A and B are shown apart, each in its own frame.
Chain A
């Protein structure tokens, strides 16, 4: 089944404790992206990647890191999480390196709480 998976689905952590949220897709998509969703603010793009080793900042990259060493994986790293990073996070992938011309396939989401 074609899908985007994220792990963990739920995470409660403490301020400053490094964490990684994994994202994997099995559709051989070139474009991958991370979004955060907060009430009243919609979906905001954190980082995106057009292919292996090619990443760029979205609208809200501060406090986050990403890497794209393999085509199928695009982990999101929070080096020192803070309470303002409490949010619902979505990973998405798209067939084209452009991302803008094709459907985005979203993962199920990761709900992160930082205390």
Chain B
């Protein structure tokens, strides 16, 4: 079952912040975050593992609430280059399968 992402789409002005949420009905081992630009392959952002710490680099960070099986991706002071579709991927505990959500389309405008 695919994880549920919200919102489906968001438009930001440069410099604004955004949060993208990912929720699963299963107990999770890990959550992956990827960004895909139009016509390109998905590009890895970060992985959060069960029992691990919040990850982040530069202005993009993420958290993983193991009790609620939820993850959030935080984008601060957005740049034009942040535009794209963001996907979360979830791996249930006890499984080697990775299931992606339907994506969140982020548009950053000047």
Contact = CB atoms under 8 A, between A and B. Distances in A.
Q: Are A and B genuine complex partners?
A: yes
Interface stretch (B11-19, B75-83, B98-106): B98-106
A64 B43 CA distance: 25
Contacts, number: 69
Interface residues of A, number: 28
A43, A50, A107, most chain B CB atoms within 10 A: A43
Interface string A32-53: 0101000011111100101000
A81 interface: no
Interface string A94-112: 0001111111111111000
Contact of B41 (A42, A48, A59, A108): A108
A43 B100 contact: yes
Interface size range on B against A: 20 to 34
Contact of A103 (B40, B44, B91): B44
A100 B91 contact: yes
Interface of B: 2, 29-30, 32, 34, 40-44, 47, 49, 87, 89, 91, 95-103
A-B pairs, top 5 by smallest CB distance, nearest first, are: A100-B91, A106-B41, A42-B102, A43-B100, A103-B44
Interface of A: 31, 33, 35, 40-45, 48, 50, 56, 58-59, 90, 97-109
